[in-house]
């Protein structure tokens, strides 16, 4: 890419398993001069980055931001103006709770050229590896993606819409607020027996899946010691996990060890 005008490639890194990357994403990671990446990007995905590329960590965790969003926007603009070929690498898909749209707005306002490479979104990838279909004719005819971040400790989700039957609700970034989320769903009419799953490290060797109900899930998650990144799936489709769980993280880890 050397010698070309500066350009930013907004690339989705998928849920973690590097084999879920698109061919376009792999090509750009191998050719980029600079890669600006997030906390949710797995180390296995970063292995595709060229050894000559500059790596800049711009990760965000709950209450811990390496860079503010405005700083990231400014960095991308500066790198492109310096003539660099930049990959802005995000976990999952950059247009689903990834602030990809905000970053592209900043680039567009400055006349910076960009391209978007979608990735397998966390909801699709993680649920697939957990053996939980997001829709099923017998259980769910619709699916909602929401973010579980709670503002100032208060819940600001559309609870009445989230408690409807025959749908699946996928909550990103909801682990910290899980007790309040479960409480609010039950307070707004969801039965305490509604199934729920929390999947930690979906699609990679450290994946863990804990299932339960709205009534008992906060305690189960606490006892299991689950941590972020985790995805929460709520709905009758969770009942299919036991029968459809195909991914064996221990077998995956053993295979990786043998290959090394």
Catalytic residues: 38, 60
The answer to whether the beta carbons of residues 155 and 174 sit under 8 Å apart is: no
d(CA 60, CA 52): 25
Whether residue 229 has a cis bond before it, omega within 30° of 0: yes
Listed in order, strand segments (DSSP E) in the chain are 7-12, 34-37, 54-57, 60-61, 64-65, 85-90, 113-117, 142-147, 167-172, 195-200, 208-213, 230-234
The answer to whether the beta carbons of residues 122 and 171 sit under 8 Å apart is: no
Chain centroid to Cα 240, Å, comes to: 22
- Residue 117 structure tokens: 């490479």
d(CA 167, CA 144): 8
Residue 199 makes CB contacts below 8 A (sequence gap 6+) with 126, 127, 129, 130, 207, 208, 209, 230, 231, 232, 233
């Amino acid at each position: 890419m050397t010698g070309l005008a500066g350009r930013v490639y907004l690339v989705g890194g998928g849920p973690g398993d590097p084999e879920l990357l698109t061919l376009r994403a792999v090509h750009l990671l191998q050719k980029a001069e600079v890669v600006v990446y997030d906390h949710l990007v797995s180390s296995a995905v970063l292995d595709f980055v060229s050894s000559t590329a500059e790596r800049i960590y711009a990760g965000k965790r709950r209450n811990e931001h390496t860079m503010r969003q405005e700083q990231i926007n400014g960095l991308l603009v500066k790198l492109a103006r310096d003539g660099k070929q930049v990959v802005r690498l995000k976990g999952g898909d950059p247009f689903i709770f990834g602030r990809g749209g905000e970053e592209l707005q900043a680039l567009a306002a400055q006349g910076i050229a960009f391209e978007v490479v979608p990735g397998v979104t966390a909801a699709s990838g993680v649920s697939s590896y957990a053996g939980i279909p997001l829709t099923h004719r017998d259980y769910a005819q619709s699916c909602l993606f929401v973010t579980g971040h709670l503002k100032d400790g208060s819940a600001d989700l559309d609870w009445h819409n989230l408690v409807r039957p025959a749908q699946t609700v996928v909550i990103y970034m909801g682990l910290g607020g899980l007790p309040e989320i479960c409480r609010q769903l039950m307070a707004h009419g969801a039965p305490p027996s509604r199934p729920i799953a929390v999947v930690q490290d979906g699609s990679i060797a450290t994946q863990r899946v804990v299932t339960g109900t709205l009534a008992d899930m906060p305690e189960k998650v606490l006892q299991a010691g689950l941590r972020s990144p985790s995805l929460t799936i709520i709905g009758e489709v969770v009942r299919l996990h036991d029968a459809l769980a195909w991914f064996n993280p221990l077998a995956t880890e053993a295979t990786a060890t043998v290959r090394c």
